[in-house]
Amino acid sequence: MAAALEKLGTPFSWGGGATTGATLGIGRGAHTTGFDCSGLTLYAWSKAGVHLAHYTGTQFRQGHRVALNDLHPGDLLFFGGGTGDPTHVGLYLDHGLMIHAPKTGDVVRTTRFIDSPYYRPRYRGATRPT
């Protein structure tokens, strides 16, 4: 979590982020150095020696499922996507807070997802990478 928290305020960049930190993205992020949501999570977990793919849908299938009432700091939280792959991922902090890279034009930030009128209805589940 410390690695992700050090990146608070870093710009969102579509396709940005690697084990080494913020990178230039692709497409909409081609001119911005930063992180997209899965780039931030793969960066943070790499500091703990865990490899994650740079795609939210793949990260959703990595690790073990965790119930909402059993979340630990660092667990991956997934949102959106209907019945397909989730479209967003964040890292659980504690007390209903997550850290994430939300969208183009935004920055890495914390958000209270647990009772958010936007994120809570889009919550798809959580995993604990191993």
Supply the residues annotated as catalytic.
Answer: 37, 88, 100
Instruction: Say how far apart CA 122 and CA 51 lie, in whole Å.
Output: 26
- The runs of H, that is alpha helices, within the chain are 2-5, 37-46, 56-60
Tell me phi and psi for residue 44, to 5 degrees. -60, -45
Q: How many helices (H) and strands (E) does the chain have?
A: 3, 8
CA 11 from chain centre, in angstroms, equals 14
How large is the greatest C-alpha to C-alpha distance in the chain, in angstroms?
Answer: 40
Instruction: Say how far apart CA 27 and CA 62 lie, in whole Å.
Output: 26
